[in-house]
Amino acid sequence: MWPPLRAVCQRVCRRSVAAVLSKCFRHRDANVSHFSHSAGRSAQACKALMYRNHGDPSRVVQLEDVGLPPLGAKDILVKMLAAPINPSDINMIQGTYAVVPDLPAVGGNEGVAQVVEVGSQVKSLKAGDWVIPKDAGLGTWRTGAVLPEDDLISVPNDIPLLSAATLGVNPCTAFRMLSDFEDLKPGDSVIQNAANSGVGQAVIQIAAARGINTINVIRDRPEFTQLSYRLKAIGASHVIKEEALRKPEIKELFKTCPKPKLALNGVGGKSATELLRHLQVGGSMVTYGGMSKQPVTVPVSALIFKDVKVRGFWVTQWKRDHSQGELASMLDELCSLIKQGILTAPACTEVGLQEYRAALDTAMQPFTSNKQVLVM
């Protein structure tokens, strides 16, 4: 999960999140009937997983009825279809993430929704379109919402539901990290830890599509062999246990595979240090997550003798710093890979909104190789 970054951008993020939430919940009770009328019977039960305090997600999150505001001229009425439970969602509820919404807040940052009705001045979307959030903090764990057109971006509605629901964060992160830090050519190598995570699986698939080798590090577990087969089936070149990084046998691997130009670190601690040791001279290590909650230690020798670059990446910041056109073009490329069957959603367990407590508990367990996805 993420180290606490709260101080860094709390103030900036609070404003945008608060604006969205206050808009969504203004005139709460008066608007349930408006939503029911507009969206038809299926949307009548407008429910949301809300939290009023930060803390343990399975304790502070409650399933509540929420009303919706009237549809403004530039608003979109959506029916949420599916939304994953990501580590950042958990951290946000715990109050330790870089984006901390004003409370009460609706959980969830990612997901796919179907447009039900559009305001009179909306030009870019129509009923039936599928949309995903452009930014973090939207509160996707709910059955319906009225949102500003500018907060949403369309995705094709003929891709698998789970791919659409998990498209906006992890595949975008993988895509950017493979594109923006090193000039990777076919035949080059990338090493990554947390290789079975949502990000890790997207890295494997996008890299394989570009002819890039991946060395994938996962924690040991009883079903290591099965997981290794599964990752190889989606394009992993090598799958190794964390312990193997420290053993001399790793030298064998580099007899047939070039030393990596890029290391992707979603774990931190010793695991990150080991990735650094295997980088090419002048290579980059990009940290995007800190699941072990341990700091990254950079050996002096890696800096002096290998001049490695130690970088970081946050997809939320990338989206804020880049135009809608750049985001749309990346999503087009990713959706094209999805349609060709090259990029698939990570292994997911679909759960109903009512089963949220068990799903939140499961999402916090180690060695859960299935992502929990709320299907509304």
Ligand X SMILES: NC(=O)c1ccc[n+]([C@@H]2O[C@H](COP(=O)([O-])OP(=O)(O)OC[C@H]3O[C@@H](n4cnc5c(N)ncnc54)[C@H](OP(=O)(O)O)[C@@H]3O)[C@@H](O)[C@H]2O)c1
Active site residues: 97
Buried b (16+ CB within 10 A) or exposed e, 215-231: bbbbbeeeeeeebbebb
Q: Which residue is nearest to ligand X (CB)?
A: 289
We find the least distance from the C-beta atom of residue 194 to ligand X, in angstroms, to be 4
Using CB under 6 A as the binding rule, the residues of this chain from 204 to 233 that contact ligand X are: 218-219
Q: How far is the CB of 244 from ligand X (least distance, A)?
A: 14
Q: Quote the CA–CA distance of 118 and 126 in Å, as a whole number.
A: 6
Angle at 351 between CA 349 and CA 356, to 5 degrees: 120
Residues 69-98 that bind ligand X (CB under 6 A): 86-88
* Interacting residue with ligand X among 49, 112, 169, 376 (CB under 6 A): 169
Residue 292 interacting with ligand X (CB under 6 A):
yes
Number of residues that bind ligand X (CB under 6 A): 29
Name the one range near ligand X by CB under 6 A: 52-60, 65-73, 152-160, 190-198.
Answer: 190-198
Minimum separation from the CB atom of position 151 to ligand X (A): 18
Rounded to the nearest whole angstrom, what is the least distance from the CB of residue 201 to ligand X in the complex? 8
CB of 210 vs ligand X, minimal distance in Å: 20
* Residue with Cβ nearer ligand X (126 or 247): 247
The CA–CA distances, whole Å, from 195 to 90, 235, 261, 369 equal 20, 12, 17, 10
Tokens of 248: 């001399």
DSSP string, 300-353: HHHHHTT--EEEE--HHHHHHHS-HHHHHHHHHHHHHHHHTTSS-PPPEEEEEG
Residue in 31, 114, 163, 170 binding ligand X, rule: CB under 6 A: 170
- Contact residue for ligand X among 31, 192, 196, 284 (CB under 6 A): 196
Subset of 303-342 contacting ligand X (CB under 6 A): 313-315
Separation between Cα atoms, residue 188 and residue 106, nearest integer Å: 42
Nearer to ligand X, 67 or 224 (CB): 224
Site map 117..146 versus ligand X, x via CB under 6 A: ------------------------------
Residue 292 φ then ψ, to 5° = -80, -10
Residues 6+ apart with CB under 8 A from 148: 20, 23, 72, 74, 75, 76
Using rule CB under 6 A, residue 288 touches ligand X: yes
Give which of 325, 368, 347 is closest to 204, Cα–Cα. Answer: 347
Q: What are phi and psi of 189, to 5 degrees?
A: -125, 150
Q: Where does this chain touch ligand X (CB under 6 A) — which range of 53-61, 62-70, 330-338, 365-373?
A: 365-373
